Amino acid sequence: MGSDSVIYTLNSRVSVRKHNGEPLTDELLEKIIHASRRAPTSSNMQAFSYIVVRDLEKKRKLAELVGNQNHVETSEVFIAVCADIHRINMACKMHDVKFEKNFETTLTAMVDAAIAGTALSLAAESFGLGTVMVGGIRNHPLEIAEVLKLPEGVFAVFGMSIGWPSVRPPQKPRFGPGLNVFYEDYGTISEEQLRDYDRKLAEHYRSQGRNTPDDAWSGVISRKVSSKRRAELREQLEKMGFSLN
């Protein structure tokens, strides 16, 4: 039997960056973390780890490294969601087996981390907590690894600020049917569909008092990807023990 509460949580979620400072108990945090660890994982590799950060000075340093995002510091807890092949490497050494790292193992760990992190967010939000994913943790992966004392084979894929919301922003519109949901095969997308989404998103942002261009999605995204982002990330990942070959 399906659960309306799960559907409600997903349908009502927003990214929350402002918290009211109410404590998040260790008991509730452990309940959320434990539930999320039941998320699907490829071949039971469990190739992910969480680094749970409550220390204010450490959160302050992380906030700086992820692009001066204040909510990282003010959240009740910040969790780095990591791709982790460190334990797999240990298992190989235990059994005198060579670990043949390749892009597949790296991708598997990143997918595991993404799935677990999504479950973590959903579990937290089901209790009324607010979360926001922080991709900026990939801005300085080597420095992040130093702050969190990550061993070789562990990479912070994204972070998550968690706290009790002081403000829940209105939901922004998502793509409608026909743009990213298809049946049986990939359908045909028209530029007019994208322009229609541009209009809806621009209207949403302007209703919040934000100055936004008419091409609120297509223009913003195309300009964002018109230059290489985090161009050194591949080299940094290889230094951290991952293979992209």
Could you tell me the pTM of the whole model? 0.94
Total domains in the fold of the chain: 2
Check whether 228 has a pLDDT greater than 80: yes
Q: Which domain holds residue 106?
A: 4-169
Indicate whether 59 and 20 sit together in one domain: yes
Q: Give first-to-last CA distance, the chain, whole Å.
A: 43
The whole-number pLDDT of residue 3 equals 62
Long-range contacts of 123-127 (CB under 8 A, 24+ apart): 123/31, 123/32, 123/33, 123/35, 123/36, 124/32, 124/162, 125/9, 125/13, 126/5, 126/6, 126/9, 127/28, 127/32
The whole-number pLDDT of residue 212 equals 95
Indicate whether 210 and 142 sit together in one domain: no
Indicate whether 162 and 219 sit together in one domain: no
Average pLDDT over residues 30-40: 97
Indicate whether 179 and 69 sit together in one domain: no
Structure tokens at 49: 């780890």
The whole-number pLDDT of residue 180 equals 95
Structure tokens at 176: 């409608």
- Name the domain boundary from 169, 185, 219: 169
Indicate whether 80 and 185 sit together in one domain: no
Output DSSP code: residue 101: -
Check whether 177 has a pLDDT greater than 90: no
Indicate whether 81 and 127 sit together in one domain: yes
**One-letter amino acid for residue 176 of the chain:** G
**HSE (side-chain half, CA atoms, 13 Å) at 56:** 2
Indicate whether 41 and 143 sit together in one domain: yes
The whole-number pLDDT of residue 219 equals 97
